[in-house]
Amino acid sequence: MTSPSFVPYTTPPVDFSTDLNLTSLKGKCALLTGAASGLGAATAVALAKAGCFVTVVDLNEAGGIAFVEKTEKEHDVKMNFAQADVTSYPSLLSAFKSAIASNPQKTLDIVIPFAGLMGAPVTALLAEVPSTADPTAPSMTTLDVNFKGVFYTTHLALHYFRQSPETEKNLILIASQLAYINPPGWLDYTSSKEAVRGLFHSLRYSSRQLWLGLPNLRTNLIAPGLIDTPMSHDRLPWLENEKGFAVGEPSDVVNVVLRVLSDKTIDGRAVSGGKDVAVDLCDDIEGQFGSRECRKLIESGKLGWGPSKTGFFDMVE
């Protein structure tokens, strides 16, 4: 009996040694959620400088407007801001409509959901409930923002991508190295990023099927390491000095985003960026769904989140 033939659903691993060529990004229209600060803001600036028309979506209206005005003035670019709560479908739908209505091409080519929350360690969540009382429901805010918001964003991206399927489309999902190494304690954040990874696994195969109606869609995932952003900044001294984790800069992730967007040979890949590292995680059958490459990163000391000085992936104070 012959074994069934293997149908690949990814392109070969990403080659980070080649030079970046961003000319293909000029004139593209992009929507980024959570883009008034942090990784989203850094990516928005880079895309605008590369010639994209970028819609910045953020819950923080004042901060978003100020960021767009500052970026337009400093870099002589045109951007759009749309205030939205990613956990509210009507709110996010309005932001997508604003992105399409405001850009010169009246289309959408690139969507990246950056909006996210760090959550809290399980010890902090349990400490809120007296041991003698019935437990209250845990907060679902982190899961709502980190996964429900991403699911809504993906749904809307696929819908509006289908309005101009003849042009190249890019959906980049943002997970985390923590979705691969599974540290103890951070249940809400890790679970939400694992869910994003599961969405990616399903979508990268679905996007190659004719019934989706998007023959030019590329779907990839980026799993950042520990990066200095407003979301993590307050904990960085403890994570870096006490735990010994490697802390990268937003540019470490932005460079990975630009490579994935500009290289049309990259599809269905999961890549990671952090301090002194940009690597394809080989999150597929051949790569043992990321475990092989994560082991290499751990052994080389290049995995941003661990192992720590005080214990393997110990992130609990």
> Out of 28, 189, 205, 296, which one is annotated catalytic?
189
What pLDDT was estimated at residue 118? 85
Name the 3-class secondary structure at 160.
helix
Average pLDDT over residues 216-220: 94
Q: What is the mean pLDDT of the chain?
A: 86
CA dihedral over 219, 194, 283, 246, signed as positive or negative: positive
Predicted confidence band of residue 310 (pLDDT cuts 50, 70, 90): very low
Question: Which of the residue ranges 85-94, 102-111, 212-221, 224-233 would you say has the lowest mean pLDDT?
Answer: 224-233
Alpha-carbon distance of 128 to 126, in angstroms, equals: 5
Asked whether residue 14 is assigned to any structural domain, the reply reads no
Contact status, residue 158 vs residue 212, Cβ threshold 8 Å:
yes
The backbone region for 23, taken as left when phi is positive above 0, alpha when psi lies in -120 to 50, beta otherwise, is alpha
Q: What are phi and psi of 129, to 5 degrees?
A: -115, 120
Question: Which of the residue ranges 22-26, 132-136, 178-182 would you say has the lowest mean pLDDT?
Answer: 132-136
Average pLDDT over residues 199-223: 83
Asked whether residue 81 is assigned to any structural domain, the reply reads yes
Average pLDDT over residues 178-193: 85
pLDDT in tens, 5-25: 445 578 999 999 999 999 999
> Out of 73, 193, 264, 296, which one is annotated catalytic?
193
Alpha-carbon distance of 265 to 261, in angstroms, equals: 10
Question: Which of the residue ranges 26-35, 72-81, 86-95, 136-145 would you say has the lowest mean pLDDT?
Answer: 136-145
Average pLDDT over residues 141-161: 97
Asked whether residue 241 is assigned to any structural domain, the reply reads yes
What pLDDT was estimated at residue 315? 45
Alpha-carbon distance of 37 to 20, in angstroms, equals: 25
β-pairing, 110-113 vs 29-33, is parallel
Per-residue CA distances from 222 to 31, 91, 144 (Å):
16, 25, 20
pLDDT top residue among 145 and 177 = 145
**Total domains present in the chain:** 1
Distance of CA 214 to the CA centre of its chain: 21
What's the first-to-final CA gap in the chain, in angstroms? 56
What pLDDT was estimated at residue 305? 52
pLDDT of 261 > 50? The answer is yes
Asked whether residue 189 is assigned to any structural domain, the reply reads yes
Contact status, residue 184 vs residue 123, Cβ threshold 8 Å:
no
Query: For the residues of 101-142, what is the DSSP string, one character each?
Result: HHSTTS---EEEE--------HHHHHHTS-TTSPPPPPP-HH
Name the 3-class secondary structure at 292.
helix
pLDDT of 161 > 70? The answer is yes
What pLDDT was estimated at residue 21? 93
pLDDT top residue among 105 and 297 = 105
Per-residue CA distances from 81 to 9, 29, 90, 113, 201 (Å):
35, 13, 17, 15, 31
152 is a catalytic site residue: no
Asked whether residue 2 is assigned to any structural domain, the reply reads no
What pLDDT was estimated at residue 292? 84
What pLDDT was estimated at residue 232? 59
pLDDT of 70 > 70? The answer is yes
Alpha-carbon distance of 40 to 128, in angstroms, equals: 32
Predicted confidence band of residue 182 (pLDDT cuts 50, 70, 90): confident
Asked whether residue 307 is assigned to any structural domain, the reply reads no
> H or E element: which one contains 198?
helix 187-206
- What percent of the chain stands above pLDDT 70? 83
Distance of CA 224 to the CA centre of its chain: 8
9 is a catalytic site residue: no
Domain carrying residue 67? 23-130+137-300
Question: Which of the residue ranges 79-83, 149-153, 176-180, 295-299 would you say has the lowest mean pLDDT?
Answer: 295-299
pLDDT of 4 > 80? The answer is no
Asked whether residue 18 is assigned to any structural domain, the reply reads no
- What CATH number has the domain bearing residue 202? 3.40.50.720
Asked whether residue 181 is assigned to any structural domain, the reply reads yes
Predicted confidence band of residue 313 (pLDDT cuts 50, 70, 90): very low
What letter would DSSP give residue 209? S
Place of tokens 């690597």: 279
